[in-house]
Amino acid sequence: MTDKWKDILNQNSSLDPQKLMDYLEGKLSDKEKHEVESVLADSAFMDDAAEGLSALKDKQKIASILFELNSQLHQKTQQRRKRQFTDRLPFPGWLVFTTVTIILLILLAFIIYRMYTTAP
């Protein structure tokens, strides 16, 4: 199996994804089962992952499903990073509007001041 499909299960866990798969397939000894069950009891994320994976009928498809999930997750995060970067690039329109408004107000105040101070 490739290592890429394991990424989604490595979220702050001391449980190896391969060990979780072996647990779900019943390939572990009693001691190892107890270790996995204690990790599952401590981690809601891993418990949910184990519950979801155990609900799958075809265990052979788990690797391809996890690989697909990781690919989609990577693609979404790359799109978000790209969008956040491009959102910062253009010059903000509100800054231009505010600057022009302040300049016009200063100009208007100067004209009014000059009209009242130079009156005959």
Q: Are residues 97 and 53 in the same domain?
A: no
12-30 b/e with 16+ CB inside 10 Å = b? ebebebebbbebbeeebee
Q: Are residues 74 and 58 in the same domain?
A: yes
Instruction: Note the pLDDT tens digit of each residue in 69-97.
Output: 888 888 888 777 766 665 665 667 788 88
pLDDT of the residue at 44: 84
Is pLDDT larger for residue 84 or for residue 62?
A: 62
User: Alpha helices of 1-120 — where are they, by DSSP H?
Assistant: 17-25, 30-42, 44-55, 62-88, 93-117
Q: What range defines the domain where residue 18 resides? A: 4-89
Q: Are residues 66 and 53 in the same domain?
A: yes
Q: Are residues 21 and 33 in the same domain?
A: yes
Is pLDDT larger for residue 31 or for residue 82?
A: 31
Mean pLDDT rounded to a whole number for the chain: 78
Whether 1 shows a pLDDT value over 50: the answer reads no
Phi and psi angles of residue 46, each rounded to the nearest 5 degrees, phi first: -70, -35
pLDDT of the residue at 6: 54
Number of domains in the chain: 2
Contact present, 16 and 9 (Cβ < 8 Å): no
Q: Are residues 10 and 49 in the same domain?
A: yes
Q: Are residues 15 and 38 in the same domain?
A: yes
pLDDT of the residue at 87: 61
Ranked by mean pLDDT, which of 35-39, 62-66, 77-81 comes out on top?
35-39
Q: Are residues 80 and 109 in the same domain?
A: no
Q: Are residues 77 and 100 in the same domain?
A: no
Q: Are residues 61 and 29 in the same domain?
A: yes
